[in-house]
A and B are shown apart, each in its own frame.
Chain A
Amino acid sequence: MAKFTKKSKAGANINTGSLPDIIFMLLFFFMVTTKMRDTSIMVEQRIPQSTQLQEIEQKSLVSYIYVGKPKEANKFGQEPRVQVNDVFINTNQIPQFVEQEKAKLPEAEREMIWMSMKVDKETKMGILTDVKLQLREANALKLNYSSNKRVEQAGI
């Protein structure tokens, strides 16, 4: 009987030995499912919503074009601009950009390039038409108008 020592009630240690494992698991999950943010977007991006969404299968074939009003209006003006890879470009520079993007891909896949258009809701079609005309010039014909899923409002 005398061998038993009194258990101390205060400060019962919880074993945190497996905490790093859990966090590492979360970390790996995020590393696998996400992709690096490679550009800082300098235009407003309020992506429109639609219902008939299709996904691009091969992520490696996608290049992005951002269109919208510049966030820093006092520096770059109010008019919508086209942004690729961290810089604003004029629409007539798009064929050059497409060529650069195509050069990054293996030769067999160059003509299969997808252009993902990330366009702000309130942009007028004028600038987008110019972009599309230049993309036709550059022979990059597959477009994806990036949009989010619209949630149908029932009963309204």
Chain B
Amino acid sequence: MAKKKDRGTPEINAGSMADIAFLLLIFFLVTTTIGADKGINMLLPPKKDESQPVDVKLKDRNVFKVIVNSKNQLLVEDEPMAIDNLRSEAKKFLANNGADPTMSESPQEAVVSLKTDRGTQYDVYLRVLDELSAAYNELRAEKLGITIEQYLDLDPKDEKQDEMMKYAQKVYPRRLSEAEPTSVGQ
């Protein structure tokens, strides 16, 4: 008589399961990107309203003029400057509080004006923007008594940290305006 077959659970071979999972993994690695939307934020001015002529009067001492020409050279307050010195100069200007008659009266009134040429390289423009943002952020961090790294790590979702940020932004409001570019190097 034939032996009765054991009909219990037959074992499924799971050896190829790892291969399948690997295949899926590699597929996802290839088709996806690690999303890091980091960068420098900038707010554009609203569309020009033709009916209302804008006539803003600013004292000359309250405007920090930065001009970048088509050869990527910097002119800061009518004097040529190396990009490495821009941050400290901007800080000096913003935190002047009326001490030097050629610099700003108060951080709230100080305006940074950035003018580029159509031939300026984007890399240089962003570097200038970065240095100017750094000047603002360093001053804010100093006001809060923390380092700039700590300031950049502040989380707006946290109520206490958000309050700190709001306070620092009120003391040193970012007033950065971009002028219409010249078109020498087009």
A residues touching B (Cβ–Cβ < 8 Å)? 16-17, 19-20, 23-24, 26-27, 30-31, 33-37, 48, 50-57, 59, 62, 116-117, 119-126, 128-129, 132, 135-137, 139, 141-149
- Asked if residues A30 and B29 are in contact (CB atoms below 8 Å), the reply is yes
Name which residue of chain A comes closest to B119, CB basis.
A124
- Asked if residues A147 and B38 are in contact (CB atoms below 8 Å), the reply is yes
Is B116 on the interface with A (CB-CB < 8 A)? yes
Given contacts A35-B32, A51-B130, A147-B39, contact A129 B44 (CB under 8 A): no
Question: Can you identify 14 A-B contacts, CB atoms within 8 angstroms?
Answer: A17-B14, A31-B32, A36-B31, A54-B152, A55-B38, A116-B37, A120-B122, A129-B116, A132-B44, A137-B47, A139-B47, A142-B44, A146-B38, A149-B38
Given contacts A30-B29, A37-B31, A116-B37, contact A123 B121 (CB under 8 A): yes
Is B17 on the interface with A (CB-CB < 8 A)? yes
Picked from A35, A51, A141, A143, the residue with its CB within 8 Å of the CB of B35 is A35
- Asked if residues A122 and B122 are in contact (CB atoms below 8 Å), the reply is yes
Classify chain B: how many residues form its interface, as a range.
35 or more
Given contacts A34-B28, A48-B126, A50-B130, contact A136 B45 (CB under 8 A): yes
Q: Which chain B positions have C-beta within 8 A of A117?
A: 39
Picked from B17, B21, B120, the residue with its CB within 8 Å of the CB of A125 is B120
Tell me the smallest distance from the CB of B84 to a CB of chain A, in Å: 11
B residues touching A (Cβ–Cβ < 8 Å)? 14-15, 17-18, 20-22, 24-25, 28-29, 31-48, 116-123, 125-127, 129-130, 133-134, 137, 152, 156, 181, 183, 185-186
- Asked if residues B41 and A142 are in contact (CB atoms below 8 Å), the reply is yes
Q: How far is the CA of A125 from the CA of B184 in the complex (A)?
A: 12
Q: How far is the CA of A147 from the CA of B34 in the complex (A)?
A: 14
- Asked if residues A144 and B37 are in contact (CB atoms below 8 Å), the reply is yes
- Asked if residues A26 and B25 are in contact (CB atoms below 8 Å), the reply is yes
- Asked if residues B134 and A52 are in contact (CB atoms below 8 Å), the reply is yes
Q: Which chain A positions have C-beta within 8 A of B29?
A: 30
Picked from A20, A126, A137, A144, the residue with its CB within 8 Å of the CB of B42 is A144
Among B34, B47, B137: residue with most chain A CB under 10 A = B47
Tell me the smallest distance from the CB of A86 to a CB of chain B, in Å: 15
- Asked if residues B120 and A124 are in contact (CB atoms below 8 Å), the reply is yes
